[in-house]
Structure 1
């Protein structure tokens, strides 16, 4: 026979838990005249059996039913399915923690988090010690904070020396500029990169152009090239994040953003840049969009990971209106613009592949080129010329 304290010690439960078991008639102690409760070996074994059943996911009520009658196979099957689901979730949790410690692939987690909470994702990456520039590159390119440096080294090796890092052409930039209803006098170009569009804006307007980028080396190269050509007088370069532009409200009558707004999110860019435009001013923003309502499955799956915020033209136009702009005009980027980007890049991949076996960055770029080759036309860049509503 066992006193309640002895039974509690034997089964690893508290005195309160055993009293609850007794209240539920799972065990039956005998009270002595001196007030002590005594429990038999049968009670001890019943408690141990209950503990085993509870380890299988049964509640105390369900344990009691199992003890007092035949097994409820439907109940057990239900609990088995539930346990399988819990195990799968635990395995996912373990895989995530292992990946965060550098023992697995973080790509899917970064993609999912960026789709669900893009701003929180960026803030978290910066809290891990990445600068905003590196956090943005990680968010959009490497998607693995443990291998980011290796990834970016390979990525830069592929793109170094290439004139364009994205689709574009002088002809398309000029076409978009021709759609701006009034001649600009002060232009803010967001994400100027190597300055291909900057040159078009300076050559074809009389405006003062402020070109911003978060890569100082690109801005330095741009300034030096303009100085050599004797056209630097109307150019001002600023190394700054597009998310925190240091300009007064109503500073520009035209904001120009070719293929850059996606970095901070198109809707966020439309909202944050709106106050910088003068009354009656304009914006040109380009973005990757669906050009069909029924894209192929492979194309949808790829862009779901590569650019989760890809939208139809109609959806983007609705967002543009909500953000305080009227649509002036829009058009899809030409095939020439895509070829200007893709053909030199394909050649670069071909030349580098033998020297970069196993490079994740190179593999991702090759995958992107394959999607372009097979499905361009289902998606494309759309150039939107907008007028700010007062």
Structure 2
């Protein structure tokens, strides 16, 4: 196994044992849904991982939902959960890349993506995903943003390496309007959204670290946890609720 493959294997050893693969909570997802002026009927959930948002959208709308992720194991877990909840008739699972979505133009009236859009970049997603929306369709995305101008060197150095396109709220809003989206509303995710992600992650790292003491993946995850514990408030996840313009 080469170095990259070993890194990814270690990374998945940690994350396969977790429910959430990014910050988020039910309250924030439902808050964003409540901001939509009409309830969508055809939703694409991009980068759904194990499907917390998918399940909520299926429970709180009558929409037909496509849940998309490129990790089949996460989709398998989501599928089993949906069947157990009796929601499987509402949701189609799709294993594909968010950068090459296999759908016809104007297929959906809402595209949803929590804690995943950074993978391809916000501006690219706005341009590419827009084509899949019906006229006046909605896009709801959460993105990691800077919350202050008074930034610590440690936080800047870390996120410049992990997410060099990280921006302020105003910069993102400008990009969204430039891409012909109307901004319906936006808000910063609660501290609880981070707690639900990082507390289980920290516990999982402690659980597996002894079995992989020299893992680069473990070291990187521990650095991220330290940045979260030391500097949350300088940065955060922000939810943007958008409507496709004319």
Instruction: Normalising by structure 2, report the TM-score.
Output: 0.97
Displacement of 1:146 after TM fit? 5.1
CA distance in 1, matches of 2:23, 2:115: 8
- After superposition, the C-alpha distances for 1:76-112 in whole angstroms (9 at most, x for unaligned) are xxxxxxxxxxxxxxxxxxxxxxxxxxxxxxxxxxxxx
Displacement of 1:184 after TM fit? 0.6
CA distance in 1, matches of 2:167, 2:136: 27
| Higher CA-based Rg | 1
Displacement of 1:356 after TM fit? 1.9
Aligned to 1:221: 77
Secondary structure of the 1:149 match is: helix
- After superposition, the C-alpha distances for 1:166-225 in whole angstroms (9 at most, x for unaligned) are 111111110111111111111011011101110000000111111111122222221222
> How many equivalent pairs are there?
246
Q: In terms of mean alpha carbon deviation, does 223-232 or 361-370 score higher?
A: 223-232
CA distance in 1, matches of 2:97, 2:212: 32
Gap regions ≥5 residues in structure 1: 1-144
Whose helix fraction is larger, Structure 1's or Structure 2's?
A: 1
Task: Please tell me whether residue 249 in structure 1 is matched to residue 105 in structure 2.
Answer: yes
Equivalent of 2:21 in 159, 165, 185: 165
Aligned to 2:36: 180
Secondary structure of the 1:254 match is: strand
CA distance in 1, matches of 2:200, 2:84: 26
Aligned to 2:197: 341
Aligned to 2:150: 294
RMSD value, Cα = 1.3
Instruction: Normalising by structure 1, report the TM-score.
Output: 0.62
Task: Please tell me whether residue 266 in structure 1 is matched to residue 139 in structure 2.
Answer: no
- After superposition, the C-alpha distances for 1:113-172 in whole angstroms (9 at most, x for unaligned) are xxxxxxxxxxxxxxxxxxxxxxxxxxxxxxxx9511111111111122211111111111
Gap regions ≥5 residues in structure 2: none
**Bigger relative CO (Cα 8 Å, ≥ 6 apart):** 2
Displacement of 1:351 after TM fit? 2.2
Aligned to 2:235: 379
Aligned to 1:327: 183
